[in-house]
Amino acid sequence: MMKSKKIVAIIRICAGFMLTLSCCAQNTVLAQSADQPAPRTDQNSKLAHEQLLEKASNGKIDIYFEGDSITRRWGATDYPQFLENWNQNFFGWNAANFGWGADNIQNILWRLRNGELDGVHPKVIVLLAGTNNIGSFIPPGDEESRIADVTKGLAAILEIMREKAPEATIILTGIFPRNDNMKSPKAVIPVINRINENLAKMADGKKVRYMNVNDKLADADGVLLDGMTMDKLHPALPGYQAWADALKPLFHELLGPPAKEDLAPPPTGDPSARRP
């Protein structure tokens, strides 16, 4: 009995320590303005950056997807069921995925400024980012500053994309709903909605197109529909298909029908998932 109590105590201490680490990491992100580039310093992210640099220099890329794990998982070798869906929807359009998991806006900015879009010259860029800067919990009173910061950061991403790929049409995707706050599942939905309103204002309907598929993912209150996500945050296959169904008419408009062959570079994955 005493041994069981000690085990429970140790588990609680470890859980508290992990929560502290998580909070510290989030506070580090919030301490730096979202429009300031910042590299990921873990070895796996460094390897992924090298991998994506190589991808950028290979093949033909007409559609360039950028974002965090929500984007990355769709076209990654370590998520074969999502990669199959990616190929079913985009084969023949030379689409390449440059998302990286757990990236904040600052990290995406750094990657774009450090070679991942250099010399690519895509015709279309699809951007979905910002959820990691929002998080699942926002301290009361910080909502307005979070909205302003994320908006400013996404505007900075648009700026660097237009600088490095001036001929591309950018499809700016509204941040997806998330219900992963266990105590208050809809906690950050008002903030997401406000940021998305700001994103819509950045679009000119020509070179920057705004797309919001949230009504296909969630109800009017932001509650995710059954089966749309795996964990109240990351899309499941129906969620990705809803995004694809909205994108494909734009791809037809901007690029014409998909070709019978695809010249995009081979898909990549999480370096840590590689087997010897």
Mean pLDDT of 216-228: 98
Q: What CA–CA distance (Å, rounded) separates 108 from 258?
A: 28
In terms of pTM, does the model score above 0.85? yes
Please report whether residue 226 resides in a domain.
Answer: yes
Closest CA to 168 of 238, 218, 96, 104: 96
Least confident of 19-28, 58-67, 75-84, 110-119: 19-28
> Across the beta sheet with 208-211, what order do the strands follow?
95-97, 63-67, 124-128, 169-173, 208-211
Neighbours of 270 (CB within 10 A): 20
Please report whether residue 10 resides in a domain.
Answer: no
Q: What CA–CA distance (Å, rounded) separates 177 from 192?
A: 7
Please report whether residue 192 resides in a domain.
Answer: yes
Please report whether residue 37 resides in a domain.
Answer: no
To 5 degrees, how large is the angle CA 59–CA 61–CA 66? 125
pLDDT tens digits for 75-113?
Answer: 999 999 999 999 999 999 999 999 999 999 999 999 999
Please report whether residue 7 resides in a domain.
Answer: no
Q: What CA–CA distance (Å, rounded) separates 65 from 97?
A: 5
Please count the structural domains in the chain: 1
CA dist list (Å): 113 to 32, 35, 81, 116: 17, 12, 31, 7
pLDDT tens digits for 184-202?
Answer: 999 999 999 999 999 999 9
Query: Which ranges of 91-142 would DSSP assign to H, the alpha helix?
Result: 105-113, 131-134
**Residues spanned by the domain of 198:** 43-268
Closest CA to 273 of 96, 76, 52, 87: 76
Q: What CA–CA distance (Å, rounded) separates 268 from 55?
A: 8
* DSSP-assigned letters across all residues of 225-254: PTTSBSSSSSB-HHHHHHHHHHHHHHHHHH
Mean predicted lDDT score pLDDT of the chain: 91
pLDDT at 21: 37
Query: What's 104's domain CATH number?
Result: 3.40.50.1110
Residue the block writes with tokens 């008419």: 249
pLDDT at 170: 98
Closest CA to 271 of 68, 52, 48, 40: 48
Mean pLDDT of 42-62: 97
Question: Bigger pLDDT: 27 or 121?
Answer: 121
pLDDT at 273: 87
Please report whether residue 208 resides in a domain.
Answer: yes
Closest CA to 211 of 168, 158, 175: 175
> For residue 211, what are the β-bridge partners?
173
Q: Which two tokens stand for residue 76?
A: 């990654």
Please report whether residue 92 resides in a domain.
Answer: yes
pLDDT tens digits for 144-178?
Answer: 999 999 999 999 999 999 999 999 999 999 999 99
User: Looking at residue 49, what DSSP letter applies?
Assistant: H
Please report whether residue 51 resides in a domain.
Answer: yes
